[in-house]
């Protein structure tokens, strides 16, 4: 058994980029040399930060995930990337609780 043989599975970095990230990178490449290219790249870095935190959360590395989500929330004060909601879920898992849902009135 060869533990380094990955020919029978797809690795996470072999999958295509999410459409939003790919569009932002293409926009940055198209606007190369202009100030607006940096904004597209930053919006792409923030998506990557969110994705990394989700992967870490799924791997059970809650502290590392929460640290990234806190950073994303600090950078995205209008919560356009949804970091605050993910952080609430990660915090609930950290406390071994189910995320609190409002029960419907009977």
Q: Tens digits of per-residue pLDDT, 65-102?
A: 999 999 999 988 899 888 998 888 888 877 765 555 45
* Contact present, 69 and 53 (Cβ < 8 Å): yes
What mean pLDDT, rounded, does the chain reach?
79
Reported as half-sphere exposure (CB side, CA atoms, 13 A), residue 94 has a value of 15
- Closest CA relative to residue 23, chosen from 47, 52, 51: 47
Task: Using the predicted structure, report yes or no on whether residue 41 has a pLDDT greater than 50.
Answer: yes
* Residues whose CB falls within 8 Å of the CB of residue 63, separated by 6 or more in sequence, listed in order: 94
Q: What is the reported pLDDT for 71?
A: 92
The pLDDT of residue 12 is 59
Residue 80: its H or E element: none
Give the phi and the psi of residue 12 in degrees, each rounded to 5.
-60, -30
- Confidence (pTM): 0.63
């Amino acid at each position: 058994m060869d533990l380094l043989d990955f020919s029978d599975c797809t690795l996470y970095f072999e999958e295509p980029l999410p459409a939003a990230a790919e569009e932002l990178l293409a926009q940055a490449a198209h606007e190369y040399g202009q100030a607006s290219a940096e904004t597209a790249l930053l919006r792409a870095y923030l998506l990557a930060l969110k994705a990394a935190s989700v992967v870490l959360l799924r791997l059970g590395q809650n502290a590392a995930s929460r640290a990234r989500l806190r950073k994303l929330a600090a950078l995205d004060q209008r919560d356009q990337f949804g970091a605050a909601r993910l952080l609430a879920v990660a915090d609930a898992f950290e406390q071994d609780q189910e995320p609190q849902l409002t029960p419907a009135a009977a």
